[in-house]
A and B are shown apart, each in its own frame.
Chain A
Amino acid sequence: MQEAEEGMVRDTSAECVTDDTIICRCERVTAGEIRSEIRAGIRDMNVLKATLRTGMGACGGKSCTELILKLYEQEGVDLSEVTLPTNRPFVSEIPLSAFAGVEEGGGE
């Protein structure tokens, strides 16, 4: 085992998710930004989408939704109060050229 120096854990909070931890990878939104919205009373994740862009990135909220729900729980919010983000088409990315474009002999 390659062990480096022994350190001390300074943050002994239950989850170790510091405020600068990235929660939404696509839009680089941190736990601290989400926590301050939760503490301001936001319970609708569609509002988080609009204000912070969590879930607005190219993955469509597939990675961060569960992590945000955990943050709600850690803030002591009953999940029955939380509105999940509306799932919108498309479920994965598709280039605009699939629907529109300059025709070049049937081009892509």
Chain B
Amino acid sequence: MIVDMNMQEKDRFRITSHPIIPVVKRREIRFSFNGKEMKAYEGEAVTSALFANGIKVFGHHRRDNGPQGIFCVNGQCSQCMVIADGIAVKGCMTVVKEGMEVRSCDTVPVLPEADKVPGFKEISTLDTEVLVIGGGPAGINAAIELGKLGIEILLVDDKPELGGKLTLQTHTFFGSKEECYAGTRGFDIARLLTDTLGDLETVTVMLDTAAIGAFYDGSVGLYGKGGYTLVRPKAALVACGAREKTLAFPGCDLPGVYGAGAFQTLLNRDLIRPTDKLFIVGGGNVGLIAGYHAIQAGIKVVGLVEALPECGGYKVHLDKLRRLGVPVLTSHTVIKAHGGEHLDRITIARLNSGFEPVEGTARDFEVDTLLIAVGLSPINELYDKLTEFGIESYKAGDAEEISEASAAIFSGKIVGRGIARSLGYDVEIPPGWDATAQTMKSKPGIAVEYKPERMELESYPLIMCVEEIPCNPCVDSCPRQSIKIHGDPIMGLPVFEGDCIACLKCVDICPGLAINLVKRNYDQDRGTSLLVIPFELDDGDLIPGRKVNTVDMEGNPLGHGSIVDVRNPLLIQREGLFRSKSPMMTL
């Protein structure tokens, strides 16, 4: 039956189960693309609705007929422009509606016909003490600090929900537990922050609302569901985050070549499964984490290239990929993307010390998706305009300096209190905050060699944390206070000293999945030990008794073991917090 075929086709590009993200049932609606009727879910972006229907080429450019798809899925580029109900829009920033007619934008868009002469509309105005632009980790935390003092805040965000890029993060956060929610998953942090903000009476939030310009009279233009409004704040905070950098190479414009952040938005926000396999360029945290998110969604990561001799991201993120068998090639880059209408093949090559491709090292991979993760640029055009027109303005988070979300949380808190002080409110900025913010921004230190220690204890953790990063939730997790950090309390490397009751709390909380637990003498006859490892993927293959190949921390083969049991979440802190499952196996 046609309906069933449609169902299968629909599910092919949707994520219907996920080890971490709850898949919520949504209402189905109908729209059309170039006259063909299609199904979508209520509330999703046009871009995602098209991808869910297998449409990855949205149209062709008027200048050279070049195929157009997506690049940023963040409202920052214009690759995904389509005509929706007669108006040219960015597909990623437009919610699909029942009966919407979506068409390719193959020519210069034309104004809709009008039978009367249009007139100017009245423009409404608003007043507020502080305008916060951007509801990500920095903006929300600034608004919370200001709102706690009873200061009138208007927070605007151009997306339909608060949280910014936290909403895309399925991994548990780094940082320190008491200061920035370390050990909690990014999308849960977004909800916790949104709840806190919702309790503050003087904070007004306008979603789907973009701050689009600043003017000489001190006003800021907002455009959202209610139309265009001018607001006159006493101070403004730009916390708009960052946009993904592009990389130029032949074929970089092909549909199928897009940002790693764009991919995470499709995958983790809209539960779209855009491909079966992909390749990644860029070994910073964004590229490494995007690769891990792909594997969580059942997508094969064919490889990752990094132009520098070392990946810039955290080693724990890199090791997660290597343990799952992803080839990571440093001193390599993508030199060409091939395809007619859509990417179907890439060419990579090794780079010499002058970053020139080495002749004879080119290799091709058949992939239809290439993720670009070559860095971020601050979104701060508005800050420049606000400052130019004399509006008291501040920056926080990635808009100020590209860093981790944990740093953005802190940056928002500090700048929020700073704004309050400049408005004459009597509030202190605790002396330690700035140092903590700087710590969160720290680049990883030099990795030391990991030496697994055999201990005489019944049970003990193997802490494979060998590179200094700002992270310490394991220390607090141990009820015996046996995990200690010597040196800097956040940056230092944790060590196990003392006794262990095998409670597994450290295994559960480590954001890097870098702690395993050994229970010695598990099977005395065979002389085998039990090893408990964290696991955040689809657990369909984890069948007790199954023989598995084992690898070391960096993914090198070790031997094999067999799965003894799969332990379900133990550490449910509150409803809605999802923990990893841990297979137990003998070695």
Residues in chain A within 8 A of chain B (CB atoms): 1-9, 11-18, 20-23, 25-28, 31, 57-59, 62-64, 66-67, 70, 87, 89-96, 98-103, 108
Contact = CB atoms under 8 A, between A and B. Distances in A.
B357 interface: yes
Given A16-B335, A25-B253, A59-B78, 12 more contacts: A1-B365, A3-B364, A6-B364, A14-B355, A21-B251, A22-B248, A64-B246, A66-B246, A87-B384, A90-B213, A99-B121, A100-B120
Nearest 8 CB-CB pairs, A to B?
A58-B78, A89-B213, A4-B364, A22-B253, A98-B228, A90-B212, A9-B362, A28-B63
B302 A63 contact: no
Interface in B320-338: 327, 333, 335-336
Contacts of A16: 249-250, 333, 335-336, 357
A25 B212 contact: no
B278 to A, nearest CB: 11
A9 B349 contact: yes
Contacts of A1: 302-303, 327, 365
A54 to B, nearest CB: 12
Contacts of B303: 1
A100 B121 contact: yes
Interface string B56-92: 0000010110100001100111110100000110100
Contacts of A63: 71-72, 76-77, 246
B221 interface: yes
Given A7-B347, A92-B158, A102-B114, A22 B66 contact: yes
B358 interface: yes
B118 to A, nearest CB: 5
A67 B246 CA distance: 8
B255 to A, nearest CB: 11
B465 interface: no
Contacts of B64: 28
A23 B365 contact: no
A14 to B, nearest CB: 5
B123 to A, nearest CB: 8
Contact of B345 (A4, A25, A67, A98): A4
Nearest to B76: A62
A58 B367 CA distance: 29
A16 B116 CA distance: 54
User: Which of B335, B366, B367 has most chain A Cβ within 10 Å?
Assistant: B335
A67 to B, nearest CB: 5
Given A1-B303, A21-B250, A89 B385 contact: yes
A14 B249 CA distance: 12
A13 B249 CA distance: 12
Contacts of A108: 227
A6 B90 contact: no
Contacts of A22: 66, 248, 252-253
A92 B251 CA distance: 26
Nearest to A62: B76
Contacts of B250: 16-18, 20-21
Interface string B295-313: 0000000110000000000
A12 B123 CA distance: 56
Nearest to A27: B63
Contacts of A17: 248-250
B398 to A, nearest CB: 14
A91 B78 contact: no
Nearest to B79: A25
B121 A25 contact: no
B362 A8 contact: yes
Contacts of A67: 246, 248
B21 to A, nearest CB: 28
Contacts of B120: 99-100
A31 B250 CA distance: 10
Contacts of A100: 118-121
Given A70-B248, A92-B210, A102-B118, A25 B78 contact: yes
Given A18-B250, A91-B213, A58 B114 contact: no
B527 to A, nearest CB: 37
B92 to A, nearest CB: 12
Given A6-B363, A9-B359, A99 B228 contact: yes
A107 B364 CA distance: 54
B356 interface: yes
Contacts of A2: 277, 302, 365-367
Contacts of B81: 58
Contact of B77 (A31, A62, A95): A62
Nearest to A19: B250
B45 to A, nearest CB: 15
A61 to B, nearest CB: 10
Contacts of A20: 250
Contacts of A8: 359-360, 362
Contacts of A26: 77-78
Contact of A21 (B249, B354, B362): B249
A64 B278 CA distance: 25
A91 B381 contact: yes
5 contacts: A7-B362, A9-B357, A28-B253, A91-B381, A101-B121
B86 to A, nearest CB: 11
B191 to A, nearest CB: 27
Contacts of A11: 335, 357
Contacts of B277: 2
B210 A66 contact: no
Contacts of A91: 211-213, 381-382, 385
Given A3-B365, A62-B76, A98 B227 contact: yes
Interface in B381-419: 381-382, 384-385
A28 to B, nearest CB: 4
Given A28-B61, A66-B377, A91-B381, A98 B223 contact: yes
Contacts of B333: 16
Contacts of B76: 59, 62-63
